[in-house]
Amino acid sequence: MTTLRRYLPILDWGRTYDRTAFSNDMIAAVIVTIMLIPQSLAYALLAGLPAQAGIYASIAPIILYAIFGTSRALAVGPVAVVSLLTASAVGQVADQGTAGYAVAALTLAFLSGGFLVLLGVFRLGFLANFLSHPVIAGFITASGILIATSQLKHILGVSAHGHTLPQMLGSIFAHLDQVNWITLVIGVAATAFLFWVRKNLKPALRRMGLSPLMADVLTKAGPVAAVVVTTLAVWALGLDARGVRIVGEVPQGLPPLTLPAFAPNLLGALLVPAILISIIGFVESISVAQTLAAKKRQRIDPDQELIGLGAANLGAAFTGGYPVTGGFARSVVNFDAGAETPAAGAFTALGLLFASLFLTPLVHYLPTATLAATIIVAVLSLVDLSILQKTWGYSRADFTAVAATIVLTLLMGVETGVASGVAISVLLHLYKTSRPHVAEVGLVPGTQHFRNVRRHKVDTRPHLLTLRVDESLYFVNARFLEDLIQSRVTEGCGITDVVLMFSAVNEVDFSALESLETINRRLKDIGVRLHLSEVKGPVMDRLETSHFLSELTGRVFLSQFDAWTALASEEHLNRAAE
Amino acid sequence: MTTLRRYLPILDWGRTYDRTAFSNDMIAAVIVTIMLIPQSLAYALLAGLPAQAGIYASIAPIILYAIFGTSRALAVGPVAVVSLLTASAVGQVADQGTAGYAVAALTLAFLSGGFLVLLGVFRLGFLANFLSHPVIAGFITASGILIATSQLKHILGVSAHGHTLPQMLGSIFAHLDQVNWITLVIGVAATAFLFWVRKNLKPALRRMGLSPLMADVLTKAGPVAAVVVTTLAVWALGLDARGVRIVGEVPQGLPPLTLPAFAPNLLGALLVPAILISIIGFVESISVAQTLAAKKRQRIDPDQELIGLGAANLGAAFTGGYPVTGGFARSVVNFDAGAETPAAGAFTALGLLFASLFLTPLVHYLPTATLAATIIVAVLSLVDLSILQKTWGYSRADFTAVAATIVLTLLMGVETGVASGVAISVLLHLYKTSRPHVAEVGLVPGTQHFRNVRRHKVDTRPHLLTLRVDESLYFVNARFLEDLIQSRVTEGCGITDVVLMFSAVNEVDFSALESLETINRRLKDIGVRLHLSEVKGPVMDRLETSHFLSELTGRVFLSQFDAWTALASEEHLNRAAE
């Protein structure tokens, strides 16, 4: 029963569902639905799919996530970055507008869903951690720029293509003579209006005396207003006949039952992009879910989240959708609007189902320029170049990772960009740990504390060299320590004892063990003893399984002060003996 | 002047060179030369090159290393593993026996030399550390097995090919009907003789009253004896006419001046193998050099070693050789025989030059089966499967890396094997640090020490949660800490203060900083304060450049005991106020 409830969180919150929760969830659902209708159409367009795919991708996935997900406020559906990744991946195997393109998008959702479920079942959610915060921030910023740029062609009314910034800009410049001026007017007006709504409408409505809830609903309805006005304008003035591109025929009805394709070639070509989409989607989703859950002391189980998101994507694959994830904007809106349980999501799904059944004929004359405007306004809030400045001040390694991710994403495309970002951050981390901070320490007079001889006035003894190693010892830095001790001992005269202080050594792997054995042997050859101090329990447990401790020429001291005292009295005895 | 001496170590030892050093170096050179003549021919064969290439690769490279290298005992030339790597790399771009094959080998030496010099000049020797000890051990063992297997065809007198164990064995089985029985007799006899020499000759000679030096020289001459006897047998009995394959015509003369090829295609195809050969060769060489140097309290400069080995390889590229490095066996022999300076290497080069000028006609009738026997006996000492058992007892991660390296090298070839080994060890390391050991600690009564509540009897306070984090905080484990604290705080009731004890945190990267900010903010939302204690100097320096410290709801305590005392008295005050 408990296991069942772990895998089906709906059994948890479902049992205590009451009237208050219901009405709160309903209000949230209405607000989110109003926001989602134009957004879903727009993101489908961004993914290169027919508009209805965005609506379909917001119905079954939301319901499946409500059953399997652990977040009470996360709103699942098409999001900007994943739509861009979809366009980039599917564009490599099929041409936009063909049946093959839509099937490839379903297959991508299927692969992504399957991969997420596998990760969840095998509890491998930690893999997402390889995306460092700077890499994610850089990637999201660069994606925002790419997405906004990709929409310029709709605003200008030209046909252009490309998946990198130079390709897109080049293609737009090449077609600049074909600009459709009516489209441009609609696009620029819609963009300006939406920016104004986002920035100024809510305070203005509040000043006019509207309740916060009403002000919020009206602000969220801004894109709907833009859609309605521009659609009416095109229909009334017959602008589609004058070259303004419109959404056109959108089929009316329930989401269709669809099947992804299982051709080995296609699966092979989409596998890596699917993994990338899964991990990026999961990272975006889990950060939102955790931030919202923390505000109410609720818990998110990351591995169960993988299963929830996986189920949502599998749902998308079989109902005419494309890859989905938990979106930042819609989840925050859902949370702020008072959603208490995943039922709010289910009601949103019902709202969108209603739209799919009855409202689609109304968007026939909707100009794509308006949808492009909603995308541009939404994604420009993702662009945050301040991360460059923040990391520059904090750490050059992190700055390098961000800058490389941004530049490579813009110039080489999303997949190369994010993969390079991960590789660079791993390499920089390994580089940092390959040359650990090692301090020669001495006794702070009057205490039992040992500090760096270069920073503090401390006592030292000529025959005793004590080194504090500030890093776990493993293969990447094992040889570094060998070299360091070798050079210290050959430089210093009269050293008879070397103590390695292990207070910050959290691991000693087999390479480091062999290095310690080598250091011990080499020091022995020249008559110097090697001691350890302050070795942690887990490290000691492991060293005890090896021969190292029995071969060690010196001793292992519980504390550095013990080592100091013991070796001092030995020295005293030796001198007395001489 | 000092800079010049850093780059030209010969200026260092050359100034104090005297008669004693000269005679010691000469004796070592004679012993090493006797050992090297058959070995050089054999390794050239292993690399798929004409026999003389092995001799040529032992002349100019040794002299160049003597000028630029820092080790006094390292003997540079063709070695087994690098010969195998050469055969594998060159075999992919040219067929054995063609002129293109030899030119590709020169090009490989040129690329490898250039890469090593670049690494040395830019002081990038630390890159070699990515090869962990278990990966090297696994790779050397698997290479030994591959090399021995590759020589079986010469012992059997069949023609076979392949670069992986299944390919080689399959090819040998397919040709088993073509076994040349005379070759087999020669091969098995030579192998048995050489094993006997290696194991039993030296003790037997010592028992017969010979001096250790003479016993040593005679033992080293074992392969020469095998060469002489089998060559005479083939010549006297005309066995080459009965299908016994012989070395054949070996040109007499100085090493030729040669040019590597600079065709972009060839350079491109050989670049990755050249990098691999450089790094593996460097790792093998530097371990030997450091072990020998440590015995005499001498220093090895790893970056200057790169330049020395790079120069040696460039020398090989222009004098008819192929990639070389410092060999384990020959260096130990050189050292044991009393070599004092790199001049011993130069004298060895003169000995080989003499062999190249006058002795090559004598090896015309030398059967390749004898050379194969010397290789098999030499490389089987590299095979050491005990590394599997050693790592199994010490750490499962290291065991996995060794086992994967061995299996993949045998089944997929040397390049895939070593690359997978590196990738696996990096991933396992990251995995280990992704779930760091975090202990809840309490005060050991009567002391100022804090220990794990699960291992020790300690005092705790219900409102105070103290966690000691045993790992540097960086992107791979940043989210782990978020989750952990989230779950601890939602589980525990009445917690008002969380203290993170940072004694083993050696780094906080930007991702971890953002996680700390998130943890601080989330705890603040539910009225819990966050404190830090025992933050190290370098970590504190960096935190001070961020906003984190000013946003921190709690304080940073110098020691955990300070935190305990201060928070206890606050609690006391609060209770009094209530």
Q: Choosing among A72, A303, A475, which should be mutated to test the B contact, i.e. which has the most B CBs within 10 A?
A: A475
The span from the CA of B3 to the CA of B12, in Å, is 12
Count of pairs with CB atoms under 8 A, one residue in A, one in B:
189
pLDDT digits (tens, 9 = 90+) for A216-236: 778 878 888 998 999 999 999
Nearest CA in chain B to A538: B437
pLDDT for res A1: 46
Out of B129, B295, B504, name the one closest to residue A479 (CB): B129
- Which residue spans of chain B are classified as CATH 3.30.750.24? 438-577
The span from the CA of A313 to the CA of A120, in Å, is 13
The SS3 call for residue A417 is helix
Of B27, B264, B279, B252, which is closest to residue B136 (Cα–Cα)?
Answer: B279
Nearest CA in chain A to B543: A394
The answer to whether A308 and A65 have CB atoms below 8 angstroms apart is yes
Residues with Cβ within 8 Å of B36's Cβ and at least 6 positions away in sequence, in order, are B58, B77, B330, B348, B351, B352
CB contact under 8 A, A475 and B130: yes
Out of B291, B393, B475, name the one closest to residue A425 (CB): B475
Which helix (H) or strand (E) element contains residue B443?
Answer: strand B438-443
The span from the CA of B43 to the CA of B77, in Å, is 10
Chain A residues in contact with B501 by the CB 8 A cut-off are: none
Chain B residues in contact with A134 by the CB 8 A cut-off are: 475, 510-511
pLDDT for res A61: 94
pLDDT digits (tens, 9 = 90+) for B161-179: 888 899 999 999 999 888 9
Q: Measured in whole angstroms, how far is the alpha carbon of residue B213 from the centre of its chain?
A: 31
The SS3 call for residue A44 is helix
pLDDT band at B446 (very low <50, low <70, confident <90, very high): confident
CB contact under 8 A, A299 and B437: no
The C-alpha R_g of chain B, in whole angstroms, comes to 31
pLDDT band at B576 (very low <50, low <70, confident <90, very high): low
The single-letter DSSP state of residue A240 is G
pLDDT digits (tens, 9 = 90+) for B492-532: 677 889 999 998 898 899 989 988 998 999 899 888 999 99
Say which residue, B126 or A191, is predicted with more confidence: A191
Structure tokens at A56: 């379909």
Give the dihedral of Cα atoms B204, B205, B210, B211; nearest 10 deg: -90
Phi, then psi, of A532 in degrees rounded to 5: -120, 155
CATH 3.30.70.2170 fits A438-577, yes or no: no
pLDDT band at B2 (very low <50, low <70, confident <90, very high): low
Q: Which residues on adjacent β-strands are paired with residue B535?
A: none
CB contact under 8 A, B474 and A290: no
As a three-state string, the secondary structure of A374-400 is: HHHHHHHCCCCCHHHHHHHHHCHHHHH
Nearest CA in chain A to B402: A510
The answer to whether the complex's ipTM is over 0.85 is: no
Of A57, A113, A78, which is closest to residue A349 (Cα–Cα)?
Answer: A57
The proportion of chain B whose per-residue pLDDT surpasses 70, expressed as a percent, equals 97
pLDDT for res A492: 65
Chain A residues in contact with B452 by the CB 8 A cut-off are: 537
pLDDT for res A575: 60
pLDDT (average), residues B289-304: 78
Chain A residues in contact with B518 by the CB 8 A cut-off are: 291
Say which residue, A319 or B337, is predicted with more confidence: A319
Q: Which of the residues in chain A have pLDDT under 50?
A: 1
Phi, then psi, of B19 in degrees rounded to 5: -60, -40
Count of C-beta atoms within a 10 Å radius of residue B448: 12
Nearest CA in chain A to B294: A522
Give how far B465 is from chain A: nearest CA, Å: 17
Give how far A278 is from chain B: nearest CA, Å: 17
CB contact under 8 A, B510 and A537: no
Of B59, B64, B108, which is closest to residue B83 (Cα–Cα)?
Answer: B108
The span from the CA of A383 to the CA of A154, in Å, is 20
Give how far A557 is from chain B: nearest CA, Å: 16
CB contact under 8 A, B509 and A290: no
Nearest CA in chain A to B538: A437
pLDDT for res B1: 46
Q: Measured in whole angstroms, how far is the alpha carbon of residue A259 from the centre of its chain?
A: 29
Q: Choosing among A71, A129, A297, which should be mutated to test the B contact, i.e. which has the most B CBs within 10 A?
A: A129
The answer to whether A283 and B511 have CB atoms below 8 angstroms apart is no
Q: Choosing among B506, B520, B536, which should be mutated to test the A contact, i.e. which has the most A CBs within 10 A?
A: B506
pLDDT (average), residues B11-32: 82
pLDDT for res B108: 96
- pTM of the shown model: 0.77
Nearest CA in chain B to A478: B129
Mean pLDDT of chain B: 87
The answer to whether A537 and A502 have CB atoms below 8 angstroms apart is no
